[in-house]
Structure 1
Amino acid sequence: MKYRYQLILLGSIENPIIKGIKNQIISEISDLKLPQGIINIIDRNNWKDEYVGNQPTFCIYLGNDNGFFEDLAIVEKLIKDGTMILPVYFNDFSKEIPEELKKQNGIKYDDNQQSRIANIVLQAFELLRSTRKVFISYKRSESTSVAIQMYEALESHHFDVFLDTHSIEKGELFQEELWHRMTDCDVILLLNTPGFLESHWCKEELAEAGSKQIGIVQLVWPNHKINAISHLSFPLNLESTDFVDAIYDDKDKSKLKNDKVEEIVQFVESVRARNLASRQDNLITEFMSIAKQCGRDITVQPERYLTEVISGKKIIYVPTIGIPQSFNCQAADIRYEYDKNPQNTRIRLIYDDLRIRDKWLKHLDWLNNNFKKDIFTLKKQEFKKWLETTK
């Protein structure tokens, strides 16, 4: 049987929102350019025929307030198997979720949470990285108060947010750390005020985002219209009525209304997968182009990693967005490939080293030189040399 991830839907699965959640997950998978069949969706109707105990599994349990909880036998089996279960409730967790799941951390459902639920599933399967990094780009003299407001809102929604005034430690090299953090982000939240492009550093950040193929959620200030600044830009036009007391031109007093802040947070959430897929595309395309020039026979797998066989040994190339981490080679599909024949399998994390700080690059080089050679990192500027010289 083809290796697949298992998504199990239990509880009040007749509720129409289950269809909405499924459709959102399928949409996110499409955004990541993964085949839809990578996830096998299971409920009580096909449980006996489809469930496999040793495959990556995630469960969503949709609660209700009528006190009648279905699928508890399946819940107990999944708990015994160590499966992650996400309880979803509407108003009162204690009334809507069965006792068996009271120790689980649940999520309150509303229409804005579909992207969040979908991303939780993909993060659990390690198809979408669990770090949710956002970089806020803004002009201090025009939008400081809104930048701080969005920083606090995104942090409260469990994003790892970079804001220059809040995120760089004393004594650090300011500009180096800023570029480094931008390199490792998923999305840039750009506060596009009238004078944004007049700032040298704002223009530099914009150029940097373009060179790194980083997606931009662009908040366009009232009465300010500009041309598209990036093919990876997702604009959201603001009106004066989106601001408290319609004040949008005071750097210290302007505040967005709460419902607009929530809309922006969900918008950022919804474009993450598309942005990461675009950056991964760019890295794969460059690596494959160089590999072809070097006469290497490398295959792109449906799960978005690359494979090559040399002298009976399989090499798995894992396109890594941002700064390589150990969990990049622990994704379930990579582990599955590796575990089939670990003695003859090698893993290479390929990444773009542009603007990553020297101290991190030296650390990665040190790891390469001091640990076993079946796993190591390969930086973009060394693709050609490595592909020309390794056999």
Structure 2
Amino acid sequence: MALYQVGLLGAVDAALVAQMKATLQELLAPLGLANEIEVIAPAAYDPKNDYASVALYFGAEGLKPDEGALVKLMREGTPIVPIVPDLKKFSKMTPACLRAINGLELPETDKTLIRAANVALEVLGLMPRQRRIFLSYKRVESTEAALQLFEYLSSLKFDVFLDTHGVPPGDDFQEVLWQRLSDSDVLVMLDTENYFDSRWTKLEFGHALAKSLVPLRLGWPGVKQSPRSHAAESVQFSAADFEADGKRLKAATLETAGLAIEKARSRGIALRSSELNNAVIVAAKKIDGRFFALGPKRTIVVELYSKHKVLIYPSIGVPTAEHLHEASSLDGEGSRRVVFDDSGVSRRTQGHLDWLDGQVKSARLMRKGNAAWELAALEP
């Protein structure tokens, strides 16, 4: 049986089940988990407590679901996410027992179900709940579009960093800039004619690659993709994607960009999680330990030479007390560690992490570059 289950409820047909399965498997392939997730149609969904499970309820007008069965699922610990095509009609499309739950709007243009798949992975703990985006642009060439994207992505519950909005008065501008970049999921580059002529945008793009972020290129009309951005996923705009002023993006263009960002975020988080886990495995082998098992919520278990086990939870971005709590709550015997990449993290945040690490004893922080040294210290 698969490690993870996604039950589809409500207005579901065979095509929706097949598409959800394909999208989830594509997102999980970089983690080696493509075969560890099961997508189950309504009639067959019966979650077991031994496996992580989430239910997605696809609402529609006129449906009369078994509310008792839905309440029973929630009482037994299965989270249910209501999904509708239009949040303005949320009450008409969902049963009363689900109306207190924050719903997800799934537009008709989202043919791959990427937003619903991302939410499922977030609930299952395979993707962080934080949704952080860094907008990289040249002010003289794309300020209007950057402000539009800031507002639109914020409405989709992304935490968006825009340099004109994200640095508090009195703070060190450059330190905040790199801190926010190091804690982002995606760098969205507005690739205008002179994007790579700016020292700042070149630094932002280079540091994003250094952090293993997947950049998303939004290409302006007539601007060819530079060889410098060959690693970026790309959406090429035409003049028809802009309003008559040539500066503001059309509503449909914003939606296209939002879906591309969802996909880039999923791919980037999977790759960075895999990179963290691989670094830990290499560190364990370096001190004569070995990879032992794959655990829930992207965790891995390594066994040291002494047979002592260490359960390691990868933190994408800057770890928090919640990550330490997650690691502390993992089932199994052994030490608990939260591994993270501290490159680009500000001195102030590094100091906070050192303090936090001293407060929690059931799980400790472990910097990726120092993993072998810290694992060696855990030998009894």
Question: SS at 1:134's partner residue?
Answer: strand
The amino acid that maps onto 2:302 is E
Give, in whole Å, the separation in 2 of the partners of 1:112 and 1:325: 35
Q: Which residue of 1 aligns with 2:347?
A: 358
The amino acid that maps onto 1:182 is L
Q: Which residue of 2 aligns with 1:340?
A: 332
Q: Which residue of 1 aligns with 2:181?
A: 182
Q: Which residue of 2 aligns with 1:306?
A: 300
Report the CA distance between 1:222 and its aligned residue.
1.5
Question: SS at 2:202's partner residue?
Answer: helix
Report the CA distance between 1:389 and its aligned residue.
4.4
Report the CA distance between 1:300 and its aligned residue.
6.0
Question: SS at 2:149's partner residue?
Answer: helix
Counterparts of 1:370-389 in structure 2, within 5 Å, are: 370-372=359-361, 374-389=362-377
Q: Which residue of 2 aligns with 1:163?
A: 162
Report the CA distance between 1:134 and its aligned residue.
0.3
Give, in whole Å, the separation in 2 of the partners of 1:52 and 1:292: 35
Give, in whole Å, the separation in 2 of the partners of 1:57 and 1:139: 44
Give, in whole Å, the separation in 2 of the partners of 1:108 and 1:369: 41
For the 8 Å contact 1:8–1:59, the answer to whether it is kept is yes
Q: Deviations over 1:4-62 (max 9, x none)?
A: 333222223237434433432333223x5242343343444334xx4324643321222
Q: Which residue of 1 aligns with 2:81?
A: 86
Q: TM-score, normalised by structure 1?
A: 0.86
Give, in whole Å, the separation in 1 of the partners of 2:63 and 2:179: 52
Q: Deviations over 1:242-277 (max 9, x none)?
A: 111162xxxxxx111111111001110112111112
When the two structures are aligned, how many residues end up with a matched partner? 373
Q: Which residue of 2 aligns with 1:107?
A: 104
Question: SS at 1:45's partner residue?
Answer: helix
Give, in whole Å, the separation in 2 of the partners of 1:135 and 1:208: 12
Q: Which residue of 2 aligns with 1:71?
A: 66
For the 8 Å contact 1:35–1:302, the answer to whether it is kept is no
For the 8 Å contact 1:11–1:71, the answer to whether it is kept is no
Q: Deviations over 1:98-153 (max 9, x none)?
A: 23323333334333342111111111111110111000001112111111111111
Question: SS at 2:126's partner residue?
Answer: coil
Give, in whole Å, the separation in 1 of the partners of 2:229 and 2:282: 24
Report the CA distance between 1:185 and its aligned residue.
0.4
Counterparts of 1:94-243 in structure 2, within 5 Å, are: 94-113=91-110, 114-230=113-229, 232-243=231-242
The amino acid that maps onto 2:331 is D
For the 8 Å contact 1:168–1:177, the answer to whether it is kept is yes
Give, in whole Å, the separation in 2 of the partners of 1:27 and 1:111: 20
Give, in whole Å, the separation in 2 of the partners of 1:108 and 1:309: 44
Question: SS at 1:87's partner residue?
Answer: strand
Question: SS at 1:245's partner residue?
Answer: coil
Give, in whole Å, the separation in 1 of the partners of 2:308 and 2:2: 21
The amino acid that maps onto 1:151 is F
The amino acid that maps onto 2:373 is K
Q: 1:383/1:36 Cα in 2 relative to 1: closer, same or farther (>3 Å)?
A: closer
What's the Cα RMSD here? 2.5
Q: Which residue of 1 aligns with 2:56?
A: 60
Q: Which residue of 1 aligns with 2:39?
A: 41
For the 8 Å contact 1:154–1:265, the answer to whether it is kept is yes
Q: TM-score, normalised by structure 2?
A: 0.89
Question: SS at 1:229's partner residue?
Answer: helix
Q: Deviations over 1:190-213 (max 9, x none)?
A: 011111111111111121112111
For the 8 Å contact 2:85–2:105, the answer to whether it is kept is yes
Q: Is there any run of 5+ residues in structure 1 with no aligned partner, and where?
A: 248-253
Give, in whole Å, the separation in 1 of the partners of 2:295 and 2:377: 28
Q: 1:300/1:174 Cα in 2 relative to 1: closer, same or farther (>3 Å)?
A: farther
The amino acid that maps onto 2:291 is I
Report the CA distance between 1:365 and its aligned residue.
1.6
Q: Is there any run of 5+ residues in structure 2 with no aligned partner, and where?
A: none
Give, in whole Å, the separation in 2 of the partners of 1:238 and 1:110: 21
